[in-house]
Amino acid sequence: MIRAVLTGTGSALPARRVSNAELAERVDTTDEWIVERTGIRFRHIAGEGETTATLARDAAVAAIAAAGVTPQDIDLIVLATATPDNTFPATATKVQAMLGINDCVAFDVAAVCSGFLYAVQVADSMIRAGAHRRALVIGAETFSRLLDWEDRTTCVLFGDGAGAIVLEARDSADDNADPAARGILATRLHADGRHNELLYVDGGPSTTGTVGKLRMKGREVFRHAVINLAAVMEEALVAAGLPIEAVDWVVPHQANARILDATARKLSLPAEKVVMTVDQHANTSAASVPLALDQAVRDGRIQPGHIVVLEAMGGGFTWGAAVVRF
Ligand code: COA
Does this chain's domain 2-171 share its CATH topology with 181-325?
A: yes
Residue from 153, 229, 285, 288 whose mutation best tests the ligand 1 pocket (most atoms within 8 A of CB): 153
Residue 201: how many other CB atoms lie within 10 Å: 18
- H/E segment holding residue 259: helix 257-266
Counting residues of the chain whose pLDDT is more than 70, the rounded percentage is 100
Find residue 235's DSSP bridge partners.
none
Please give the Cα distance from 83 to 92 (Å, whole number). Answer: 12
Ligand 1 pocket residue status of 154, Cβ below 6 Å: no
Does residue 58 contact residue 162 with C-beta atoms inside 8 Å? yes
289 vs 34: CA distance, rounded Å = 21
Residue type, 63: A
Look at residues 290, 310, 324 and name the one whose alpha carbon lies nearest to residue 172: 324
Nearest CA residue ID for atom 15, ligand 1: 153
Q: Are 3 and 170 in contact (CB under 8 A)?
A: yes
Helices (H) and strands (E) in the chain, counts: 10, 13
Pairwise CA distance, residues 176 & 246, whole Å: 11
Domains of the chain, by residue range, sit at 2-171, 181-325
Q: Which helix or strand (DSSP H or E) is residue 239 part of?
A: helix 218-240
Nearest residue (by CA) to ligand 1, atom 10, is 153
Is 102 an active-site residue? no
Question: Which helix (H) or strand (E) covers residue 59, if one does?
Answer: helix 52-67
Task: Write the pLDDT tens digit of every residue in 107-148.
Answer: 999 999 999 999 999 999 999 999 999 999 999 999 999 999
pLDDT per residue as tens digits for the range 241-297: 999 999 999 999 999 999 999 999 999 999 999 999 999 999 999 999 999 999 999
**What CATH number belongs to 2-171?**
3.40.47.10
33 within ligand 1 shell (Cβ under 6 A): yes
Mean of all residue pLDDT scores within the chain? 97
Per-residue DSSP letter, 181:
-
Determine the residue of 81, 222, 319 to mutate for testing ligand 1's pocket, defined as the one with the most ligand atoms within 8 A of the Cβ atom.
Answer: 222
Catalytic residue among 104, 113, 132, 228: 113
**Per-residue pLDDT averaged across 55-81, rounded?**
98
Q: Cβ(152) to ligand 1 under 6 A?
A: yes
Q: What is the pLDDT of residue 248?
A: 98
What predicted TM-score, i.e. pTM, was given to this entire model?
0.98
269 lines ligand 1 (CB under 6 A): no
When the candidates are 3.30.70.20, 3.50.50.60, 3.40.50.620, 3.40.47.10, the CATH number that belongs to 181-325 is 3.40.47.10
Is the alpha carbon torsion for 67, 70, 73, 77 positive or negative? positive
CA–CA dist 42, 225 (Å, integer): 22
**What pLDDT score was predicted for residue 166?**
98
